[in-house]
Amino acid sequence: MISVIRAFRNEVLKFRRWSVLAVAGAMLVVSTFIAYLTFHQIASGSTGREMTGLIAAFNTPQGLVSIIGQARSVIIAIALVMVTANLAAEWSQGTLRNLLICEPRRLRWLAGKMLALVLFVLLSMLLTLLISGTFILVIAQGQGIQTDAWTSPEGLQVFLAFLGNEVLCLIGVSALGMLIAVLTRSVAAAVGIALAYMLVVEGIIAVVLPQVTQWFPGRVFNTIVGTAVPLVGPTPLQGYPAALGAALLWIVGFVVVAAVVFPRQDINA
């Protein structure tokens, strides 16, 4: 356990790098901008089929979450890239060999590193949601729009349900990114494969086999959030309990496979 904590602390120190902070900053800025655009469209009276649900929910307890939740795809993509690139870089930059000299018990090092990465991803997501939500509240009140429903006990309950499912979603995405990084051992390949799978592959297969892809990891992680707030993601066709169970199984599966493969890999650099 001490070696896991040591690896965790060493990894946390790396988050002070400007490149890492820049990625978290990009998540915050882009997500807030998307939330503002969504709010502006609703407040300015824009119409359209894609706006119907958002307009209907605007003055309800789900109003704020439905607005800031429109940036979920950005948050998920950045989180996936953050974890995958950071872990795969240990091979690409040739630093893994030195790290394993200091901590030869590979799984303990991997556990500490992943704990740090997941914590950073979750804190970045939480900060993004809080800042973008506060920004929208301030803008709405400045325009004289009633926000009592958003900050009511029911509105807070909706936000917490959304946040809890989003945490599970990002943990699942991080586990997927970890497995892809361990298997590819290359930043370019890991990031490319991870994004292609999440953004393209599952979507293409879903056109042909929708009943099958509802159990795929990307779909499962995405739809559990839609249960709390349907406007920020699709609702799981198989029901929330089944989708939640599948998400947990995928996470465990990713961790187990990575734990089996990683100790058996040759470290050449």
Give the pLDDT confidence score for residue 91 in this predicted structure: 85
Whole-model pTM: value is: 0.91
The two structure tokens encoding residue 85: 């690139």
What mean pLDDT do residues 137-158 have?
90
Instruction: Tell me how far apart the terminal alpha carbons of the chain are, to the nearest angstrom.
Output: 27
**Helices (runs of H) and strands (runs of E) counted in the chain:** 14, 0
The answer to whether the beta carbons of residues 185 and 84 sit under 8 Å apart is no
pLDDT above 90: residue 84: yes
What mean pLDDT do residues 235-242 have?
80
Half-sphere exposure of residue 145: CA atoms within 13 angstroms, side-chain side: 21
Q: Which residues of 18-51 are buried (b: 16+ CB within 10 A; e: fewer)?
A: eebeebbeebbebbbebbbebbebbeeeeeeeee
pLDDT above 70: residue 1: no
Banded model confidence at residue 268, pLDDT cuts 50, 70, 90: low
Banded model confidence at residue 192, pLDDT cuts 50, 70, 90: very high
Q: Which residues of 81-100 are buried (b: 16+ CB within 10 A; e: fewer)?
A: bbbbbbbbbbbbeeebeebe
Give the pLDDT confidence score for residue 245 in this predicted structure: 92
Closest C-alpha among 15, 170, 208, 7 to residue 96: 7
CA distance 114 to 119: 8
Asked which of 9-18, 22-31, 162-171, 219-228 is least confident by mean pLDDT, the reply is 9-18
Burial of residue 257 (CB within 10 Å: 0-12, 13-18, 19+) is: middle
Asked which of 52-61, 122-131, 187-196, 248-257 is least confident by mean pLDDT, the reply is 52-61
The two structure tokens encoding residue 59: 């003055």
89-141 tens-digit pLDDT: 888 887 877 777 777 788 888 988 899 999 999 999 999 999 999 999 999 98
CA distance 127 to 252: 27
pLDDT above 60: residue 148: yes
What residues contact residue 64 under an 8 Å CB cut-off, 6+ apart? 133, 136, 137, 147, 150, 151, 155, 159
The two structure tokens encoding residue 15: 């988050």
DSSP 95-113: -HHHHHHH---HHHHHHHH
What mean pLDDT do residues 138-156 have?
90
Give the pLDDT confidence score for residue 219 in this predicted structure: 87
pLDDT above 60: residue 165: yes
The two structure tokens encoding residue 121: 């991803």
Give the pLDDT confidence score for residue 202 in this predicted structure: 84
Give the pLDDT confidence score for residue 9 in this predicted structure: 78
